[in-house]
Structure 1
């Protein structure tokens, strides 16, 4: 054996012997390096660190218990969220049905309006064609002339009676004529 290996084996055997000695004396190898006051201070620090460790372990266990409670509640929350989602979905479907009915009603109303507009346009076109027809003004003028001829002179303050006055006169004459005819039979 060379010199280094023999020294290492000697050192390791010395350390083994020394640690056994300290165990018998109930003194740790670290405590041997410090004086009595220093050992007392170190023991206080160890006690403080032990208390801190216990406190932190207590907090960890409380946090784990709280986590378990939250995990147990999670299915309840998911169920609540699912029920809430189902309710919101039903409300949405109801609103969609209402909007669909409203849209259908508006569609029907607008189609009816379009149809009315088309019929009104046709009626306006027909009336315009009647007005443009040259026979209509001739007919109206002949009725006015008939009314003038059947009344005494200067009966109408203006030169010609209004169309409304002519219409009333014609209705009155026709009513009288119908009554006479009914009396005869």
Structure 2
């Protein structure tokens, strides 16, 4: 009876991961728009891992059926042999559980990686849209003009300072201002 319960719980955990996989498949058309080859690679990896899981589950069920047949064929075993067999069976079941947990962790990691890639792609597109915003170059040009107006003529070796020089100059002025404010108080 315990083996049947164990088989049912094992199948339900497999169904849970398979349903999560199906949910990921429903999200995938949106993800393809953002991530391209990376998502397809992760999908292939998930498919491979799912096939491996199904194969291992099939092997486990075959092994359990074979084990049942062997148990039915055995004549009344001696207590020593039965204890040894039970001990080895427990070790085998423990190793199977460890492998199953390891596989499930790999599956979870790959799905988390897929979600992380999706969010990174969305953030990249958002930043690209910010860069394409027409107000940003206007703002940068106004800061550069302000820096040029605050310095004497021919202070910068090039005709216009680059954005890095402007930023350093603004930081220096703000730091000096903060120090003066702190000295007053």
**What TM-score do the two structures reach when normalised by structure 2?**
0.50
Distance 1:37 1:138 in 2: 36
Shift of 1:97: 1.6
Encode CA deviations 1:137-171: one digit per residue, 9 max, x unaligned: 11111112222222222222222222222211111
**Higher normalized contact order (CA 8 Å, seq sep 6+, divided by chain length):** 2
**Cα–Cα, structure 1 residues 83 and 3, in superposed 2: closer, same or farther, change >3 Å?**
closer
Shift of 1:117: 1.9
Q: Which moved more, 1:60-69 or 1:162-171?
A: 60-69
Unaligned 5+ segments in structure 2 are: none
**Could you tell me whether the CA contact under 8 Å between 2:42 and 2:114 is conserved in 1?**
no
Distance 1:38 1:123 in 2: 16
In structure 1, the partner of 2:181 is: 181
Shift of 1:6: 92
Find out whether 1:8 has 2:11 as its counterpart: no
Give me the CA root mean square deviation: 41.7
**Could you tell me whether the CA contact under 8 Å between 2:144 and 2:166 is conserved in 1?**
yes
Larger Rg: 1 or 2? 1
Distance 2:116 2:14 in 1: 119
**What TM-score do the two structures reach when normalised by structure 1?**
0.50
**Could you tell me whether the CA contact under 8 Å between 2:34 and 2:121 is conserved in 1?**
no
**Cα–Cα, structure 1 residues 148 and 98, in superposed 2: closer, same or farther, change >3 Å?**
same
**Could you tell me whether the CA contact under 8 Å between 1:31 and 1:39 is conserved in 2?**
yes
SS in 1 for 2:160: coil
**Could you tell me whether the CA contact under 8 Å between 1:22 and 1:28 is conserved in 2?**
no
**Could you tell me whether the CA contact under 8 Å between 2:144 and 2:161 is conserved in 1?**
yes
Distance 2:170 2:21 in 1: 149
Find out whether 1:52 has 2:48 as its counterpart: no
Distance 2:149 2:126 in 1: 32
**Could you tell me whether the CA contact under 8 Å between 1:147 and 1:166 is conserved in 2?**
yes
